[in-house]
Amino acid sequence: MSHWAWDEFAEIAGGSWAIEPTGPALDFVGVSIDTRSLQPGQVFFAFVGEQCDGHAFLPAAQKHRAAACVVTHPDRVPEGFTLPTLVVKDPQDALTRLASAWRDRIRAKVIVITGSNGKTTTCRLMHGVCSAAGTSFVSPKSFNNALGVPITLLNTPIDADTLVAEVGMSTPGEIGARTGLLRPDISIITSIGRAHLQALGSVDQIAREKAQIIVAAPSEAVGVIPSGIELLDAALAEDGHLVRRVPMELDLLTNDARGNRFSIQGQVFEVPIPGAHNAYNAALCVLAGRVLGYDDETIRTGLARATPPAMRFERVQIETAGDPIVIINDAYNANPDSMRAALATFVSFDAPARRVVVLGEMLEMGDSGPAEHQSLAEHAAGLPTLDRLVLLGAGFASVRCDDDRVEIIPDSSDAGIASVAKSLKSGDTVLIKGSRGVRMERLIDKLSQLHANGRSETKNETRSHA
């Protein structure tokens, strides 16, 4: 907890008090924009959106013991409301200004992570490493945008040893702005791939934008990146930061459903998350941990403790009248490269009966969308161990694939999801993956309804093959 003078808080936020606070200072413990998750002592920001007006939840904020509220419309503050209430013109700007000031107060070393694939998983791996060495705070879920990054900063305890923050983008300039706010000590780039092509136009532009997490960092910051990405190397060619690189040919010792063992610079590490790509993500964390001064044993301990985020190769078991249907839920998001990585990992798993893949369309692909969906369909259909491939959504509507195992369903509505659910059989092992907007996890809900007499069990895939 840290004391923040009320007057200073208001001045930084650019606001004025509609309801004056009592006492000289705020015992600051963080911020919230959602009363469902608001913790006692946090400051509640009442955002006005298209679907929801945060002012309607001011009574809930008081009930949950918020320390104060920040609003834009003082006339919407209910009668009898007693919490200190600050009025600002732009709550997003107020959050950002406060986050910048809080960054100056915290003592934490800041590690920021971006990439076309693997950002959130790498955050969890890095958080595991940092937690083995001290107290660490990590971005909740995927709080990586213009709103999530300031919230992450403001909720970082003042005495935390490290902050691991995810940084995302959807348009040019965002990475640099968020890096300027976070002012990192270490900047990690996991990968450069074909995501956000609609906004950025080319993989070259994506590499240049991602590189800003190093270029825009303080001069003493250290970059950690994979080797062998020519576009990224070109984007960093004139930058003066020290950069550590994971070898392009990582020595992968084992790779199965339980995770990976790999060797880097003569030392062996294990990560309890399947997929060869996650060995590379873990190797980035090894180098970053060494930059922080951690010994290899501490890093090993941290990687072993790491838990993946939700909807990243989660194993969900749907009980049926016969053998269970096993869903490998990798539905959080997708682009052409992450789709291929998921397929490569999935086909390495044992399947007692049919091996089925259900892929949702990839959004934000721009003009390259039709070609990328066709290429992905051909790649997936070329995997000989798949028994069935379902391609769901409008992005696959123009795909041509002469293979009896392939079914194209252009409708990704609930009706389309229901038709897929009805076609799955007892004993199937099913990979589901698609862009976040497609919400492929709806298939799990539909299957659970269809087999309501059974019950579903969710586990991380790494824990289900003990």
Domain enclosing residue 366, as ranges: 314-463
How far apart, in whole angstroms, are the C-alpha atoms of residue 129 and residue 386? 36
Q: Is residue 94 part of a domain?
A: no
Q: Which of 287, 305, 323 is the last residue of a domain?
A: 305
pLDDT tens-digit readout, 91-138: 999 999 999 999 999 999 999 999 988 899 999 999 999 999 999 999
Q: Is residue 373 part of a domain?
A: yes
pLDDT value for 465: 26
| First-to-last C-alpha distance (Å) of the chain | 41
pLDDT value for 366: 85
Q: Which of 248, 272, 305 is the last residue of a domain?
A: 305
Going from the C-alpha of 279 to that of each of 146, 189, 246, 340, the distances in angstroms are 30, 14, 11, 16
User: Can you list the residues of the chain whose pLDDT is less than 70?
Assistant: 1, 194-200, 453-466
Question: For the packed helices 369-381 and 336-346, what is the interaxial angle rounded to 10 degrees?
Answer: 10
pLDDT tens-digit readout, 237-255: 999 999 999 998 888 888 7
CATH of the domain at 431: 3.90.190.20
224 and 322 share one domain: no
423 and 452 share one domain: yes
332 and 421 share one domain: yes
194 and 111 share one domain: yes
Model confidence, pTM: 0.84
355 and 334 share one domain: yes
172 and 318 share one domain: no
Two structure tokens written together for 303: 């990687």
CATH of the domain at 155: 3.40.1190.10
How far apart, in whole angstroms, are the C-alpha atoms of residue 4 and residue 115? 35
148 and 291 share one domain: yes
Q: Is residue 95 part of a domain?
A: no
CATH of the domain at 34: 3.40.1390.10
324 and 446 share one domain: yes
Q: Which of 305, 330, 354 is the last residue of a domain?
A: 305
Please report the beta strands in 46-135, taking only residues with DSSP state E, as ranges in sequence order: 68-71, 85-87, 109-114
pLDDT value for 37: 94
325 and 407 share one domain: yes
How many Cβ atoms sit within 10 Å of the Cβ of residue 68? 23
Coil, strand, or helix at residue 413? Answer: coil
As for how many domains the chain has, the answer is 3
Q: Is residue 196 part of a domain?
A: yes
Is the CB of residue 266 less than 8 Å from the CB of residue 296? Answer: no
- Token pair 């013991």 in the structure block, residue: 65
Rounded CA Rg of the chain: 24
46 and 120 share one domain: no
Strand partners, 53: 48
